[in-house]
Amino acid sequence: MRLKKVIYVAVILSAMCVSCAKDRTNEYVEKTQGNHWMQTVMQEWYLWGDSLQDLDWKQYFATPSTFVSRLTSQSDADDKWTYCSVDTIVADYHKCGTFNHYNSYGLDLSLMTDPTGETTKQYARVLTVYPGSPAERCGLQRGDFISQVGESKMSSKVMGYLEKGFARQLVVSRLGVTDDGDTFYWTDTDTLQIEASEQVSVSTVLRYGMLTSDVAYIMLTDMNDFDAISPAISALMSRHPSDLIVDVRLCNVGTIDCAVQLARTIGNASGTMLRTIWNSYKSSNNTTYDIESASGCNLFFITSSYTQGAAEWLIWGLKSLGQDNVTVVGTTTAGQTVMLRDFPTQYYYTIHAAVAYVADADGDYGYKDGITPDEAINEFDYVQLYPYGDPRETMIYHIMSNH
């Protein structure tokens, strides 16, 4: 493959020199060597590397992000996970909805019409407020409704002001409900001053604690480092809860090692939990991950469409071991069946390539379309959103009322 590529490039260079009567070999090499390097790495490491073919010589002048998408499009695997991050471009590849780690108010929002049904007015519904963010500091809460930004009434265009950090004054309304729970009404309206947008760091453990003497709760935003989770999970497990709620609604990044370590702490089974399946060139990297755990907990996972990667591997692996005390509550997950590996380059960008399937002990990675919840509940079908970790919160209330 490498010899073929050298010959191919040489032919192209010769054709360029003949057509323009000027030797532009050095110019071509300088402008395309990064993408040629990317292709070589992808052919060796990419899970579907054997499907990658040489492109038309003009394609090698594309930007790195465009070029990697052209390479992955050759695969029939519908790879939506591989990407290229460019050092000179600030982008958040692991944001949840409208929230951006690099520069935001620390909010996730959705646009909706008046939930009371009294008007056709639009509101930005606050889905998540991240601790320590400008949104939290100004007093915004999950479940608030923003009706105006400055003098502008809410619309899809004005939503953009909130997403991109162009707001300074917010008009916020809150809901009340009648005793019978059938009618919602506006209780109060505040005008809040919000600071400038900023980079927002998010803690791995967003919330944790005992909801009752028998029910423990932990909310994770990532599974990158078990050491960041261990103190909280150890504190909960020391209370010997009968039920453990693991909230992974906002968890969309992590490592297989962290997922396995967590399973060893909270699981109730022994055996091979997961295995990785690499391409034929890298089959020596195939690995099995075993656990032996007897926590005694009934496990409840709260999921959303943001849930992906390590959180899915944790759930998939535990369920594959036949644990009948693992219940998934929420909405279908994203379906990331592959593990990514980073390949930094000297060309100011990094390739994040899918290199292995993450499967159960039998080699099954049949969650490409996401993990379907055992008990399907969309929290956004409900008007009121209570804080994460609040027993009144829709998902938690469902679990505690039905189990």
Cβ atoms of 216 and 271 closer than 8 Å = no
pLDDT of residue 12: 47
Query: Rounded to an integer, what distance in angstroms lies between the CA atom of residue 108 and that of residue 125?
Result: 9
DSSP track, 355-395: EEEEE-TTS----TT-PPPSEE--GGGSS--PPTT-TTSHH
Q: What angle do CA 280, 284, 287 make, to 5 degrees?
A: 110
Helix, strand, coil share of the chain (percent; to 5): 30, 30, 40
Q: For strands 375-376 and 326-330, give the pairing.
A: parallel
Amino acid at 247: D
Query: Rounded to an integer, what distance in angstroms lies between the CA atom of residue 236 and that of residue 375?
Result: 25
> Which tens digits make up the pLDDT trace of 108-125?
999 999 999 999 999 999
Instruction: Kindly indicate whether the domain formed by 107-193 is annotated with CATH number 2.30.42.10.
Output: yes
The reply to whether domains 107-193 and 205-339+358-402 share a CATH topology is no
Residues whose CB falls within 8 Å of the CB of residue 166, separated by 6 or more in sequence, listed in order: 149, 160
Spatial CA neighbour of 369 closest among 329, 335, 331, 319: 335
Query: Rounded to an integer, what distance in angstroms lies between the CA atom of residue 402 and that of residue 228?
Result: 31
The DSSP H or E segment spanning 158 is helix 156-164
Amino acid at 177: V
Residues whose CB falls within 8 Å of the CB of residue 3, separated by 6 or more in sequence, listed in order: none
CATH code, residues 205-339+358-402: 3.90.226.10
Query: Rounded to an integer, what distance in angstroms lies between the CA atom of residue 112 and that of residue 103?
Result: 24
Amino acid at 67: F
> Which tens digits make up the pLDDT trace of 246-264?
999 999 999 999 999 999 9
Query: Rounded to an integer, what distance in angstroms lies between the CA atom of residue 198 and that of residue 200?
Result: 6
Query: Rounded to an integer, what distance in angstroms lies between the CA atom of residue 88 and that of residue 249?
Result: 31
Query: Rounded to an integer, what distance in angstroms lies between the CA atom of residue 39 and that of residue 354?
Result: 14
Cβ atoms of 392 and 348 closer than 8 Å = no
Q: Which residue has the tokens 């071509």?
A: 28
Cβ atoms of 343 and 358 closer than 8 Å = no
Query: Rounded to an integer, what distance in angstroms lies between the CA atom of residue 148 and that of residue 207?
Result: 30
pLDDT of residue 1: 45
> Within 10 A of 202 (CB to CB), how many other CB atoms are there?
18
Coil/strand/helix, residue 272:
strand
Token pair of 338 as six digits: 């592959």
Spatial CA neighbour of 323 closest among 363, 295, 362, 303: 295
Q: What angle do CA 226, 228, 232 make, to 5 degrees?
A: 100
Question: Which regions of the chain are under pLDDT 70?
Answer: 1-29
Spatial CA neighbour of 267 closest among 206, 303, 319, 194: 319
Side by side, which strands form the sheet with 326-330?
205-210, 215-220, 243-247, 298-303, 326-330, 375-376
The DSSP H or E segment spanning 210 is strand 205-210
Domain boundaries, the chain: 2-79, 107-193, 205-339+358-402
Token pair of 265 as six digits: 């702490």
DSSP track, 21-46: TS--HHHHHHHHHHHHHHHHHHHHHS
Residues whose CB falls within 8 Å of the CB of residue 10, separated by 6 or more in sequence, listed in order: none
